[in-house]
Every structure is written in structure tokens, then in C-alpha cells.
Structure 1
Amino acid sequence: MGEAGNGGTMLPASTRAVEYRAVPATDRATPQPHPRIGKLPFTHPRVFRRHDRLVDKLHRFRGVIAAVTLPIAVLLLIWAIAPGGGGQPRLHAAAPAAPGDAAAAAVAAGPGAVEEVYSIVLDAGSTGSRIHVYKFERRRDQGGQLLLISDTFEQLKPGLSAFPDDPKKAAASLEPLLATAVRTVPKALRRQTSISLKATAGLRLLPGSKAEDILKAVGTFLKTFPFKLGTDAVGIMDGAHEGAYAWLTLNYLLGKLSSGPDATVAAIDLGGGSVQEAFALPDAEAAAAPGGYVTTLRANGKKFSVYVHSYLGYGLMAARAKVIESNGGKGHPCFAKGSALKYSYADKEYSVGEVEFAKRATSVCGKPESEVARQYSLAEGNAPYFCLDLSFCHTVLTQGFDLPEDTELTLVKQVKYNGQAIEAAWPLGAAIDGLSQE
């Protein structure tokens, strides 16, 4: 893993670490035009050097998307889309600094030094709902340092956005997940255990008051369970917080939070409807940043200022829809040869006819769907888009974020922590930040 910064400047791109999270093929976050951000008042080269070029470069290099697939993108999508382990392949990154030693030290410290705490986070995504019930040991004698003991995880489909006209049914769909929480948290600790639900892109895109009505019904439903529900516990999470929490999760699991921002790693989080970049800033740079770009987080007795920018409409699923729409449904060189399919995204249907590939397409691009699916063991439904997904990811990395072709990427879906494979996603960061403020 590379470091996110050193002495106020970014290290060479080849040393930076980035995280990617691929999403299921049915993610339906909506593509929206990205605002021009080249005139931001904060012009520190470390933070905004790349942003005024992302939209222009993606447009200028749209032809490249149809032809170029490089090894870094191939590895990315093979690992992220291939089925196995319930869609969560165990990709082990560097383990944090001896978490087992921390647990042993906690036990040795004697009674009263360690407090068992839980946090429940519901992730209402565009393709389904997920619950994480985190168990921690909190060291009161070490500034409230948190040691993750376990993550009880469960998911179901469809998500809340599948019930736009029936808010109560949407809320009731969460009952199996909440039953898991009740079983997991000891009865004596339930009333003091915080529960929250954060919705991401899918719910955000519902028209009118539909999203608000669903969230209101969810809040009412959660009050019937024996957990602590804060006033702002249920809501739609903006891209800044999603990116910041994902950054906190990654750096916590890698043991990077003990020495300040210069020891942390940067994260690029590729979702269905958007892509976020996040990295920590020293206090002086954070103070100079414009409002809305820096999120303050707390973890293990420390405060971190995390710069986050979310590019709505540049997620993987949004890219598919944009490419189909741009060609009027007449096919595209990046769709598998012989494909005839319908693609649903943000309540809109896209039809794709049979495609003949250009001679320049190589490797994945140009192969029949059946051969692509067989050769790369793809999850059902992803084979027709595999060439497009690879090409888009390559373009975002090299043309959007200016990463050189030889950049070393660390691809993370799960991180080995305390003997377990923990999902490197935003809910853990949200739990840590919440518990650190209690």
C-alpha cells in the first residue's frame, strides 16, 4: 500500500493505493451531468489538480473507451465481478499492525478497562438492503480506542426503491435484517446500541416525495425495535459522507490511523451511480478548503479531515446506460458480439441490438457473450458488458484521475483484520465515527 501524502504533497502516483468497489449489475443509480468544477476557489495542486479535467477527458477520450482494455482494468473487473463467496471474494490486503496484540493487551489490562459495544448500520443501496452488526471492544483507558471483534452481515433484495408507491411495504422489507440484529446484540445492550439506516443513490433518484415518504415509514418501523435511534439516524447519505466513511473503513482495517494523515492511504470508490475519491488532509490544508469538500471524522481518539469528491453519473452502471443511450440502442463495439438485450437503469429501459465488433477490438472485446462468460467466470448478466466495464474503468483511472499506466493498484473488497475477512465498505466507517463521538 502506498501512502496518501507526505509533507503536504502527494507521493508519485505509482505509490498511491486506491480502492475499488464494484456493484451488482442491477445497480440503478441515475446518470446525471457533472457540474463544471474547474473554477473552485481552492486551487491547491494536491487536491484539485485533476478535477477540472475529469469531465472533459472522459468526453474527449470517449473513443478510447471503445477500444482500450489494459491489465489493471482486466484485473479489476475479473476480481470485482466474478462470483464466489456470495459475491464477496476474499481479497486480502495488508493486515493492520498486530490487531491480535491489541486484543491481548485489552484482556491483560484487567476488568473495567474494556467495554463491549455494538453498532448497527443498515445500507439501503440501489440493488438491495444490507445490515452490518458490528461488535467492538472499546478501551476507555486509551481514549476510546475501538477494536473490531466481529461483523455480522446479511443482505436481501430488492431494495427500498423497489417500493416507490408503498412506503410501509418498503419499511417492512427490512424485518428479516432487523431480526438478525435482535439475535446478535445481547438483550442487556440493545437499548444502548445505536441503529442507523443510510440510503444511497437508488432511493435518492425517486421522483417527488417518494423517497421522503419511504424514509419516514422506515423511521417509524425502526422505532418498534429495541435499539437507540437518533434524530438523524435515517436519511439519504450524500456522496461526500459515503466516500469519507469508505476511506475511514479502509484505513482502520489497514492500521493506518495511528500517525496522522501522512500515514494514511487514498481511496477511489467505484459504485454504480458515482465514483468517489477520498484522502486525508493536514489541518492547514483542510482549513483552506472550500465548504462541502472536507468531512471531519473521529476514530481511536483522533480527528481526521478527509477531502472527498463524488462524481455523480460516472459509476459503472451509469456508464453502461450512457453508452447505450448515446448510440440510440443500435449497439456498440463494447457490447458482446451477438448481444440482444434490455438494460434497466433508473426506471428506464434501454434496448441493445446485435453488435459486430470493430477489428481493433482485442482480448475480451470481440468475443461472443458465451465465451466471455465461460472464460472469465462472470456473474450472471455481466458478460455482455464486460468489455465496456473494463474500458470504462481504464479510462476513469488513466484519463480521469491521471494515474500512469504502470500505477500499482491495490484492489480491495475485503481486508483481513483480526483473523477475519472484513468488507471494506462505508458502513464500518460510519459505525466507528458514530461510536467515537459517544
Structure 2
Amino acid sequence: MFGTAVRQLGYAWSMISGRRFRLKDVSALVDDMRATMEQFGSPGEGADDLLAATDPEIQEDLTRRRLKQTVRHAATETPYYRHLLKDDGIIPPTRKEALRGMPSAFVSDLAKPALLAYTTGTTGAPTMVWFSAYELELMSAMAALSLMMSGGLRTDHIWANAVSSRSIAQVIAERGVTRTGAAFVNLGIVDPAVALDRLATPLHVPGRRPQITHLNLNASYLGALVQEAERGGWSPRDFCLEEVWSGGEVLTDALRGRAEEMFGAPVHDGYSMTEIAPVSGEVCADGHLHMPADQGMVEVLDPVTMEPAEAGAIGVLVVTPWSAFRDTTLLLRYVTGDLVRVLSEPPECARAAIPATSRILGRMVGDQGLTTRDILDALQAERDLPLPSRYALDGGVLYVVADKKDRALAVRLEERLSTGVVLVEGPEELPAPCHVRADLIEHSFERPR
């Protein structure tokens, strides 16, 4: 008990001071938490305090100190910021194009790079981000703590990942899940029919549930699984899922509802990016995206002026990961490109103490003021349209992939989106490609039963 208390104090000191964590202490905390969970079934009172400080005044003071330290590291250790901040010290937002064009310029002179992660490149060329062994171990341990305390992951559970193997999320999930004692399955993005077979097939392994209990995937691939399951006559009785986690793309209420109907498990909506890891967020029951300030500073800026967005306005998420967590690729005020709406009033939900915005809106599409979420909300409310949703806006007209041309359906979409709608029968008929992560299919010789 004394050793655990000392490790908790060391962890708390690193969180408060912004200094590097002692990995052996964080790793031991994971082992302590796992032992506690196995013996008592819950983390115990006050355990959540390990993950986040929620007092606004304390958090504001911590943010100032952490930002000062992070800026100092970036300005003295990286070629990009050393050149950028040498004159007046003003920190302009860092555009994705800068990181994509010269990734090595953001790597600290003191770094010991161990792993190069690529983004999927859905919206263009992939972005490269280096991570050290320290970062990987720390983020994995913190993921394990979060999964046990907040996610309810237990040693008899089986977690399946169905995301791109290039993502840092794949590495962190595998290490974090196995640290909790649960089993990890690298499901991959395979043919949806094959994935359903794997989810439904009993595994017959000692100490584990009969089937996969947790599934982590992108929203478009979730749509592909739902579509295949509905067409194939699957039902919740075929699966043993307890939780489904979706991230990386806009998740609509309509898709979440259909997925919960099909798999018989709650679907959680989260947000993360390779570039800003470990900064992440989760959507609460009231529909707010909460992003704790413990791993980084989160700003919402006007997409044009790059000034703070006003209450009720749409802004872009701009993130600075703290240097206590990131010692290799250092980023200051990184413009994610993901839009949110600033809340008009402070939230009153169960997580009100954690900073919040609206859910991710995606990107602006065309000149009509429509966001990705606006379009997907309209499309996925129509069950006759195939999943994942595919569309393209051209000249003020929205082209939508449909199984058949249905004028009544097109009229409903036009009324909801206030734009012209043309239904086409295949993606090849769209005026521009519609890239979704469900397209990152990993080919194999396996065939569905």
C-alpha cells in the first residue's frame, strides 16, 4: 500500500509540474490498478483523480505552466519553431501543410525516435509523426488506466481493433488493452462479411468470454458492418458485444442507433488524431465533446481569422500536446482541420467540469455552409440509402450514391439540406471521389462462411 501511495504521488507530481513521468511508476500504477480491479471489481473511491484535474482554477494555472514549458521545449529543440519564434515569440497556429511538408523539422534535437506513424491520408497525402519509446510506453499505460477506470475493461474481456494498421491508435490500443489483462484481437479492416463472422464465432480460450466483447472502429466501417449485417439477416443474438467505440470520422445519431439495434451494445463516440496524441475526447450522453486539458491545450478558433471563436459559432480545433507527454514530434497550436461549434451556454451534464464543445462537425463542404455532419445526418436518416454514405458536392448540387433513383427520396434530401440533389447508382458516377476509411480494406484469402 505504501509503495502504491508513493507511485500515485509521483504520478500526481508529474501531472502538476509538467515534468517527464517516471515510466516505472506509471507502469506499476497500472499493475496496482489491475490487481485492485481483479480483487474488488472497481477502482475505488477517488481513482478518477489520477486521470484529470477538474477544478477550474487549478486547471487554468496548470495550463499556463505547461504551455510555457512546452513552448520552451519546442522553441529550443526543433528547427521549425526555433526559426519561427526567434524574433517576437508570438506563436501562430501550425498548419497541417507545414508538418506534412517537412516532418523532420518538428522533431526535437534531443529525441530518440522509435516509431514512425502515418495518418490515413483520407483528405490528401498522409502526415508523418515520430514517437519515442517513452511516448509509446506512457500513452499505453495511461490508456490502460483509462480503460480500466472509465471504460470498464476487465481481464475476461476480448477487445477487437478494426482500424488502419498505420495508425498510432493501433499500437496504443494493443499495448493498453493487454496491460489491463484483457485479450486483444487485431481484426483489421477486412471484408465486412468476414468481420461479422469473426465477431460471431466463439473463440474457446481459457479465462475469456466466449466471443469478442469490445469493438473499436471508424464510423464508415461501422456503417459497412451494419449494412452487411442487415442484408445478411444477423441479429444481436449472434454477438457478445458489450461496447462499441467509434472514432476518426463523424458518427451520426442515426448510424449509432442502427448499430446499437444490430449489435445489442452501446456505441460510444470519441475523438483523437495521430498528430495530437494523447489528447483525445469523448462524447457524453448530452452530446458534448469533452476534451480534458491534462494532456494538452485545446482551442477553438475562427477558421478564417484564427481568433477565438465566439459562443455559438463554428470554429476549428487547435491543439498543443504537452511536452511531458510528447518529446519527439513537438507541435504548438496545431490546426486539426476538424470543426466544432462553441457551446452557447456552459454544459450542465455529468462531465460539466471537463471543457466541452459540440460533437465534431467534420469539414465545410461547398459554399452553402454545410458541414460533413449536416450532410451525413440527412443521408443516414434515410435507411434506403446504402452505407457507408458516399456523396460529392459540385456546383451547388449534392450527388449521392443510392441503390436506385427515387425522386421522393431526392426531394426529402433537398428540403432538408436546401440544395439540389442528384441520386447516382455508384461511386464512379460522383463528380469527385468520396474517400472514407472503410475503403482501407486489407485483402486476404479468407472468405465469409
TM-score (norm 2): 0.29
